[in-house]
């Protein structure tokens, strides 16, 4: 209890010192509330399929990890754990190097461009964050998005190939 109160005091001091933007503080609070309400909830029983897109609560994480509420693409399922690639908004001024099998096939970026013109379920261009695959509880799902990228599609195969390329390079960087 003592450590918990100490941690809460540090958070309160950070809030008073304006360490967090109001948006991050809002997202931080929602994330904590969801965790408190759902941490012991019975596991979701609805089936989840590879290739489906859901809205997830990724929780609080360190930069540059994906945090809080974002879309994600399910790439694998192991009992009640999901392997998820986070999806976030594309900003061409900020994300200068992205991979796209047609527009940017020579790129070795870990950001895979999902163009809204190619996917009716997204309203604006988005990115799959290939180097940030997550293993998450099925209970992190907030709701199902309307989209799906079929695992047998060329797009799914293209981002998997790019993802493997990223992981292979990361492995060889360690050697």
Q: Supply the pTM of this predicted model.
A: 0.78
Tell me: do 34 and 55 sit in the same domain.
no
For residues 150 and 68, state if they share a domain: yes
For residues 133 and 156, membership in a common domain is answered with yes
Q: What is the CATH number of the domain that holds 142?
A: 2.30.30.110
pLDDT (tens, 9 = 90+) of the chain, 175 residues, equals 888 778 777 777 777 777 777 777 777 778 778 778 877 777 777 789 999 999 999 888 777 777 888 899 998 999 889 999 999 899 989 998 998 988 888 888 889 999 999 888 888 999 988 888 889 999 899 888 888 888 888 888 877 777 665 554 544 444 4
Full domain range(s) for residue 130: 47-174
Both tokens assigned to 160: 């998997």
Same domain, 72 and 98: yes
Q: Are residues 26 and 107 in the same domain?
A: no
**81 and 124 in a common domain:** yes
Is the same domain home to 165 and 151?
yes
The count of domains in the chain is 2
């Amino acid at each position: 209890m003592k450590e918990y109160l100490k941690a809460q005091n540090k958070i309160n001091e950070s809030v008073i010192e304006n360490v967090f933007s109001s948006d991050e503080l809002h997202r931080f609070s929602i994330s904590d509330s969801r965790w408190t309400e759902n941490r012991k909830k019975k596991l979701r029983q609805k089936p989840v399929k590879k290739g489906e897109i859901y809205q997830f609560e990724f929780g609080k994480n360190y930069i540059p990890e994906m945090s809080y509420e974002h879309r994600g693409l399910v790439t694998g399922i192991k009992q009640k754990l999901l392997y998820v690639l986070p999806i976030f908004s594309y900003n061409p001024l900020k994300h200068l190097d992205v991979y796209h099998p047609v527009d940017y096939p020579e790129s070795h970026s870990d950001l895979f461009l999902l163009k809204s013109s190619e996917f009716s379920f997204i309203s604006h261009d988005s990115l799959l964050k290939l180097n940030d695959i997550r293993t998450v509880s099925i209970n992190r799902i907030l709701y199902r998005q309307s989209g799906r990228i079929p695992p047998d599609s060329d797009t799914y195969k293209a981002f998997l190939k790019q993802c493997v390329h990223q992981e292979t390079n990361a492995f060889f960087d360690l050697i």
